[in-house]
Structure formats: structure tokens, C-alpha cells
């Protein structure tokens, strides 16, 4: 794929009975960028990413990843993308090493390639010592890291990560950031969702703000920010909550 966007979403819609989770998302993610999808809880970030990765069928709209229509040629499209879902459910009675091998074999990779890449990923992500431990015994940060390793194993062109830094300690978060930066430096694309503006500002080249199932702002991060902190722009676009300063005056006054 040369020249075109890495990810193109057009008119993406998903309804759950009467509730519209995603109400017509149009978005283009340039190739080789670190792209942040931000929005408050319930904005439709996870639903959008699941539709973009072929895990959830949209009611309407198209998804093109690396030039391949995801819902027309699902196998080719999935071969070009890596996924790390938010609620990271894994076959956690496999060891880290077995889980990586499983993912590699699912994608028809050769055993030698799987072994070599899995070893490198485990080293870089600091999981080498826990390679023979069942994933069910991993901490949340370790689970995210082994999930990331599985998503990277087949060297995808586009990586979709749903809340990759949620519940992750600062050390693991730094490791994940460093791996992702190395990934995009090689020309690949990362699309990740988050509601931590600081992380998005620090990592992303471009950002889209999703609110109530719609994109309310998108573009290069400096353009979206307009010289202000991203959090201020975000709060302004999605609507600020009432000031909580007047209540709870008793907090901190206990002498018991």
C-alpha cells in the first residue's frame, strides 16, 4: 500500500437495539502515524476498534486497512493487522511461551520464525523469566505485555490497541511505549484508544475525539489542540461535568 491511508473508516454505524453505539464514523489514519482515538467512557471507542479489526460486524459502513476492505476480504485484512483488545481475555492456562506459539501457528507462521521472534519479544518486554508461567498467574501489566507480544508477532502493518495503558504500572507502560515507538519508526501504524490525555499528547502524531458515537474533532495533534492542552479541548468538546468543589467539605476533617 503506497500513499493511501493505513486505516479508512467510512460511515461506520453500530446499534444495540435502540442504543446507537457508533453513529456514522468517518476517519482516515495516515500510514506510519501514531494515532490516538480518545473519548469519554461509552463514546464508542471500543466498538469502533472492534469493527475496524473484524471482530464486530458493523450495521453500515466500510473499513479499509492497508488497502484491504476488512469486511470483504477478512483473512487478508487480518493478516496485516495486530489487535490488543481492551478486556484482554486470553487462553490464560497456556504459558506465555505457549500463547505466543499458538498465535504464530494460528497465523501459519513457520516454527523457526515463531521461536526467534517470540524470544526477542519476550526479552524486549521483560517477560523472559515468566515465559514458562501460565498467563493466568500474570499481573495486569504482564498480561498487556504478552497481549502486545502476540499482536506484534506476525509483524503487522497496522496495530490496533484498545486502552493499552489501562491498569499498567509506569515501568510496564514505559516498556510498551518504547516498543510501540520502535514499531512506528519502521513505517507501521498504531491506532490506540485512551482517555488519558497526557499519554495521547506525549505519543501521538494525530488524534480523533469521539463523543456519543461520532467524531467531533480529528487531525494532527497540534492542529486539534490549537495551542491549548488536549484535555481542555477534549473537555470543551465532550462537555464538562459540574464543578464538584462545593460539596464534600467534610472530607479530610475527620479526627476519629
Partner 1 sequence: MARVLLRLKLRLLWAGLRTGGGRGAVGFVLALLWSLVAGVVIGGLFVLARTLDARPATDATAIAFAVVLLGWVLGPVVVAGSEGTLESDRLALFPLSRRQLMPGLLLAAVAGFGGLATVLILVGAVIGMAAPSPLALVTVAAAACHLLLCAGLSRLVTTAISGAVRTRRWRDVALFAGPLLGLSVNVAIQVLTRAAIPTEPGQPGHAAGLVRGIATVARFFPSAPAALAIGYARAGRIGLALLSLVAAAALVVGVVALWGRVLDRVLTSAGTRGGRLRGEARRPLIPRWLPFLPANRLGAVAAKELRLTWRDPRQRAALLAAMFIGFVPAFSLRVFTSTNPRLALAAALPAYALASTATNQYGYDGAAHWTNVAAGDDPAADLGGKNLARLVITAPFVALLAAVAVWRASSLAYLVPGVALAAGAFGMNLGFADIASVVAPLPMPDNPSNVFSAGNSGRGLAAVGPTLGVLFGGLVFSAPLLIVLLVTSSPAVLSLASMGCVLWGAGGWWLGFGYAVRRSLPRQPELLAALSTRAT
What Å distances lie between residue 232 and 2, 72, 226, 239, CA to CA? 36, 40, 10, 10
d(CA 34, CA 223): 15
Q: How far is the CB of 199 from partner 1 (least distance, A)?
A: 24
DSSP 8-class letter at 199: H
Q: Which is nearer to partner 1, 93 or 228 (CB)?
A: 93
Stretch that binds partner 1, among 17-25, 107-115, 203-211, 241-249 (CB under 8 A): 107-115
The only residue of 46, 47, 101, 189 in contact with partner 1, by rule CB under 8 A: 101
Residue 142, class by beta-carbon neighbours within 10 Å (0-12 exposed, 13-18 middle, 19+ buried)? buried
3-state secondary structure of 241: coil
The owner of cell 505466543 is 100
130 vs 209 by CB, closer to partner 1: 130
Report if residue 216 touches partner 1, rule: CB under 8 A.
no
Task: Read off the C-alpha cell for 103.
Answer: 498465535
Q: Is residue 134 involved in binding partner 1 (CB under 8 A)? A: yes
Exactly one of 107, 177, 195, 214 binds partner 1 (CB under 8 A); which one?
107
Window 138 to 157, contacts with partner 1 (CB under 8 A): 138, 142, 150
Closest CB to partner 1 among residues 56, 124 = 56
The site for partner 1, by CB under 8 A, has a size of: 42
Is residue 46 involved in binding partner 1 (CB under 8 A)?
no
Helix (H) or strand (E) holding 98: helix 96-106
- Which of 196, 243, 235 shows the shortest CA–CA distance to 36? 196
196 lies in the binding site for partner 1 (CB under 8 A): no
The region of 2-10, 25-33, 100-108, 214-222 touching partner 1 under the rule CB under 8 A is 100-108
What are 216-221's contacts with CB under 8 Å, separation 24+?
218/27, 221/36
Binding site for partner 1 (CB under 8 A): 53-57, 74-75, 78-79, 81, 83, 85, 87, 89-95, 97-98, 101-103, 105-108, 111, 128-134, 136-138, 142, 150
Amino acid at each position: 500500500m503506497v500513499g493511501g491511508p493505513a486505516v479508512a473508516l467510512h460511515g461506520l454505524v453500530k446499534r444495540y437495539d435502540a442504543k446507537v453505539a457508533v453513529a456514522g464514523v468517518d476517519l482516515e489514519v495516515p500510514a506510519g502515524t501514531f494515532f490516538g482515538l480518545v473519548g469519554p467512557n461509552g463514546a464508542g471507542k471500543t466498538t469502533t476498534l472492534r469493527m475496524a479489526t473484524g471482530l464486530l460486524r458493523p450495521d453500515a459502513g466500510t473499513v479499509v486497512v492497508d488497502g484491504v476492505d476488512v469486511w470483504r476480504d477478512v483473512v487478508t485484512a487480518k493478516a496485516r493487522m495486530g489487535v490488543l483488545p481492551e478486556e484482554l481475555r486470553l487462553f490464560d492456562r497456556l504459558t506465555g511461551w505457549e500463547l505466543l506459539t499458538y498465535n504464530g501457528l494460528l497465523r501459519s507462521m513457520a516454527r523457526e520464525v515463531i521461536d526467534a521472534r517470540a524470544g526477542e519479544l519476550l526479552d524486549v518486554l521483560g517477560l523472559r523469566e515468566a515465559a514458562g508461567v501460565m498467563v493466568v498467574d500474570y499481573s495486569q501489566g504482564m498480561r498487556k505485555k504478552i497481549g502486545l507480544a502476540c499482536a506484534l508477532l506476525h509483524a503487522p502493518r497496522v496495530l490496533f490497541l484498545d486502552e493499552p495503558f489501562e491498569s499498567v504500572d509506569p515501568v510496564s507502560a514505559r516498556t510498551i511505549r518504547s516498543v510501540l515507538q520502535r514499531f512506528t519508526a519502521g513505517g507501521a501504524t498504531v491506532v490506540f484508544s485512551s482517555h488519558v490525555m497526557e499519554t495521547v499528547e506525549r505519543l501521538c502524531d494525530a488524534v480523533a475525539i469521539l463523543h456519543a458515537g461520532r467524531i467531533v474533532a480529528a487531525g494532527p495533534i497540534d492542529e486539534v489542540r490549537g495551542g491549548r492542552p488536549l484535555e481542555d479541548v477534549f473537555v470543551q468538546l465532550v462537555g464538562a461535568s459540574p464543578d464538584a468543589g462545593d460539596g464534600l467539605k467534610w472530607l479530610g476533617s475527620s479526627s476519629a
